[in-house]
Amino acid sequence: MSDDDIGLARMDASHKGSHSKLTKKRKHKESSDTGKVILYIFLVLLALVIVVNIYTILNLKKEIQDKKMVAEEETRPASLNLYLVKDPNCTDCIDLSPLVGSIKNGNIKLQLQKEVLLGTDEAKALVPMYRIKKAPAIVLTGEIDKLPPTTFEKRGDGLVYEPTNPPYTSTATGEIIGLITATVLNDTSCAACFDITQYLRLFEKAGFHISTVKMVDSKTEEGQTLIQNYKISKLPTIVLSKDMGAYPNITQIWSQLGTIEPDGSFILREANPPYRDLDTNTIKGLVGVTYLVYANCTQCYSVLVHKQILNNFGILFGEQKTYDASSDSGKEIVSKYNITKVPTVVLDSEGNAYPNLVRVWNQVGTIEQNAFVFRRVESLGTYYDLTSNQAISTKKEGTNTSSATS
C-alpha cells in the first residue's frame, strides 16, 4: 500500500471518527432539547394548575363571603319607621298597643316611632298617602321587604294595618263607629221574667262594645212607642242601635236571635222564658209540674231527681204538686196518660216555651194532650211497675225483682 493510500485511509478513519463524534453531540443536543420542551410543558401545565387553583380558591372565598353577606343581611334587623294614627277623641276605640309591642319584639330596628293624631297636618298627609279609612291604624315604612309575611296590607312604600273590629273612627267622616246603645224594654210587673241583661253580658264577652244601656218600662210612653214601632210581641227584649251592624258577620247570624229593622236597629225577639206574651197578655214559661210517686216503694228513686234535671234546662216552675199513684188524684193522672211506671213527672203545656226541652223530650218521654210525660223511669233507678205491682231494680247485681207490694 502506498503512502497515499495510507494517508487516505487515515483521513477516512479520522473523518469517520469526527462524524461519529458529531452524531453523538447531535443526539445529545436533541435529547437535551426534548427534555427542555418536556420541562417547559410541565412548567406551563403546573402554572395552569396553580392559576386554576388560585381562581377556584378566590371564587370559593368570594362565594363564602357572598353567602356570609347574604346570611348577615337576612339576619340583620329591618330598619323601620312606625306611625300610629289615632283619634284623640275616641277613648273607647280599639287599643293597638299590644300589636305595636309585638312588632317591636320582632327582628326590627325602629328608627322612628310616632303617634300621629287625626286632624294634624301630618295626619292629613299620611291618611290619603296610605289610603287609611279607619283609626287607630299602624303604618310601617322603611325596609318593609325584609319583614316576613304579615296581615298588614302593602300600600305604596308602606305596610298598613287597620282594625277589622269596632270601635274605630272613620277618617272620612270623623264618626266613631261601633259604640252600641242598648235599650232594654222590660215588663216591671213580671217579677219572674227572665233577666234579659244577661244577653248584654254575653254580647260584651263576644267583643261587642256596648257604650250605653238604657232601661225602659213597657208601660211608659216611650215603651209603648217602641212596642208599636217594632211590633214587639214578647217582653223583656232589647233594642240595639245600628252600630251593631259594624261588627263582622253579625248580620248573618242575627236571624237566629231576632230581626234587623229598616232603620238599622237590631231587635232581640227570641226571649228566654219566662216572658210576657203581649198577644195573650200572659206569662209564658212558668211550668206547672206534677210529681207522681208510689209511697209504699221505699226503695224507689227520689222523684226530686226530676226537679234537678229540669233545673239544668233552665226551667222555672209555676205550680208544683205531688200525688201518690194509689190516691184518687193519682189514679186519675195514671189513667189520663196511661202511666205504668212511677216515680215520674208530668209537665204542663208551658214546657213548650223551652225549645231545648221540646227537642230532647222524645228521647225520655211523650208529649200528649199538650203535656210532657216522662216514661223512661228505668234510666234513673229502682221504680214501681203499676201493672205487675212490684218494684223493679235496674241494678245489674242482685235480684232484679222485689216482692210484690199491695
pLDDT by 10s per residue, the chain, length 406: 555 555 545 555 555 555 555 555 555 555 566 666 666 666 666 666 666 666 655 565 555 555 555 544 567 899 999 999 999 999 999 999 999 999 998 888 999 999 999 999 999 999 999 999 999 999 999 999 988 888 899 999 999 999 989 999 999 999 999 999 999 999 999 999 999 999 999 999 999 999 999 999 999 999 999 999 999 999 999 999 999 999 988 988 999 999 999 999 999 998 889 999 999 999 999 999 999 999 999 999 999 999 999 998 889 999 999 999 999 999 999 999 999 999 999 999 999 999 999 999 999 999 999 999 999 999 999 999 999 999 999 864 333 444 444 3
State the number of CA atoms in the 13 A half-sphere of 84 facing the CB.
Answer: 17
Residue 281, sorted as left (phi over 0), alpha (psi -120 to 50) or beta, turns out to be: left
Query: Is the separation of the CB atoms in 255 and 245 below 8 Å?
Result: no
Cα separation, 245 vs 203, whole angstroms: 13
Q: Record the pTM.
A: 0.70
pLDDT at position 402: 46
pLDDT at position 106: 86
State the number of CA atoms in the 13 A half-sphere of 77 facing the CB.
Answer: 12
Provide φ and ψ at 355, rounded to 5°. -55, -40
pLDDT at position 41: 67
Residue 339 CB coordination number (10 Å): 20
DSSP per position, 155-187:
ETTEEEE--SSS-EEETTT-PEE--EEEEEEE-
